[in-house]
Structure 1
Amino acid sequence: MDLFNSICSEGSHAIKTIDMHTTGEPTRIVYAGFPDLQGTLLEQREQAHTSYDHLRKRIMLEPRGHFDMYGAIIRRDTELVESGDADIGVLFTHNGGFSTMCGHATIALGRFLVDTTDECVFPGRRKLTFDATTCTAQVRLHAPCGVVTITVPTTSDGRKSDPSRPVSFLSTPAYAAATDVQIDIPAHIRWEELGTRKSIKFDISYGGAFYALVTARELGFANGLQAVDIDQITACIRRLKPFLTSHPRVKNALDHPEGSSMSFLYSVMVVDENIGYRPQEIEGVETGLCYFADNEIDRSPTGSCVSARMALRYHKGLIAPGEKRAYNSLISNHFAEGAFIARIASVCPDTSVIVQVQGFAYYTGTSAFVWEEGDKTSQEGFVFGKCV
Structure 2
Amino acid sequence: MDGLKEIIGDVALREPIKCVDMHTTGEPTRIIYSGYPNLTGTLLEQRAQALTEYDHIRKRLMFEPRGHWDMYGAILRPDTELVASGKADMGVLFTHNEGYSTMCGHATIALGRFLVDADESIFPRGKKLRYDKDISSFHLSLHVPSGPLEVTVPALPNGKSDPSRPVSFLSVPSFATGVSVKIPLSPEYRWPELGDRTFITADFSYGGAFYCIVDAEELGFSGRLADVELGKMDHASKQLKAAVNANPDLSFCTKHPITKEMSYLYSIMIVDTSLRAGHGSEENDTSGLDHAGEETGLCFFANQQIDRSPTGGAVAARVALAYNQGKLSVGQRRTYHSLLSQRTGMGGFTGSVIEALPSSSEQPHVRVRVEGSAHYTGMFTAVVEEKDGLGRTGFALHQLEGCQR
TM-score (norm 2): 0.93
Q: Secondary structure at the match of 2:115?
A: helix
- Compared with structure 1, are the counterparts of its residues 258 and 50 closer, same or farther at alpha carbon in structure 2 (3 Å cutoff)? farther
Which of these residues, 343, 352, 356, is aligned with residue 343 of structure 1?
352
1:318 aligns with 2:320: no
* More off after superposition, 189-198 vs 21-30: 189-198
Contact 1:132 1:156 in 2 (8 A): no
Match of 2:286 in 1: none
Q: Which residue of 1 is the match for residue 85 of structure 2?
A: 83
Aligned position for 2:152: 151
**Counterparts of 1:169 and 1:358, CA distance in 2:** 7
Tell me the amino acid that sits aligned with residue 44 of structure 1. Q
1:364 to 359, 373, 377: 377
**1:295 aligns to what?**
304
Counterparts of 1:150-169 in structure 2, within 5 Å, are: 150-157=151-158, 159-169=159-169
Relative to 1, partners in 2 of residues 1:373 and 1:279: Cα closer, same or farther, differing over 3 Å?
same
Using the alignment, how far apart are the partners of 2:380 and 2:190 within structure 1?
Answer: 43
Partners of 2:332 and 2:353 within 8 A in 1: yes
Aligned residues of 1:8 and 1:14 also touching (Cα < 8 A): no
1:19 aligns with 2:21: yes
Give the superposed CA RMSD: 1.4
The alignment of Structure 1 onto Structure 2 pairs a total of residues equal to: 386
Q: In structure 2, which of residues 96, 104, 107 is the aligned counterpart of residue 105 of structure 1?
A: 107
Structure-2 residue corresponding to 1:271: 271
- Per-residue deviation, residues 122-150 of structure 1 (Å, max 9, x unmatched): 11000000112211001100000000000
Equivalent in the alignment of 2:41: 39
Structure 2 residue matching 1:370: 3-state secondary structure: strand
| 2:356 is aligned with 1:355 | no
Secondary structure, in 3 states, of the residue corresponding to 2:15? coil
The DSSP-based 3-state class of the residue aligned with 1:371 is strand
Q: Deviations over 1:310-368 (max 9, x none)?
A: 00010111111011100000000121110001110111011300000001100000010
Helix, strand or coil at the partner of 1:204: strand
Q: Tell me by how many angstroms 1:249 deviates.
A: 2.8
Name the SS for the 1:188 alignment partner.
Answer: helix
Name the CA distance, whole Å, in 1 between partners of 2:4 and 2:26.
32
Q: 1:151 to 1:8 in 2, by over 3 A?
A: farther
Whether 2:229 is the aligned partner of 1:220: answer no
Q: Identity of aligned pairs, percent? A: 50
Deviations 1:262-311 (A, max 9, x none): 11100000001000215024441100000000000000000000000000
Equivalent residue letter for 1:296: Q
Which amino acid in structure 1 is aligned with residue 397 of structure 2? F
**Counterpart Cα distance in 1 of 2:206 and 2:367:** 11
Shift of 1:4: 3.0
2:75 to 53, 73, 80: 73
Q: Is the 8 A contact 1:27 1:105 kept in 2?
A: yes
Shift of 1:8: 9.0
- Structure 1 residue matching 2:384: 3-state secondary structure: coil
The alpha-carbon deviation at position 197 of structure 1 amounts to 1.1
TM-score by structure 1 length?
Answer: 0.97
- Partner in structure 2 of residue 305 of structure 1: 314
* Residue of structure 1 in register with 2:288 after alignment: none
In the TM superposition, residue 378 of structure 1 has moved relative to its aligned partner by 1.7
> CA separation in 2, counterparts of 1:309 and 1:199?
22
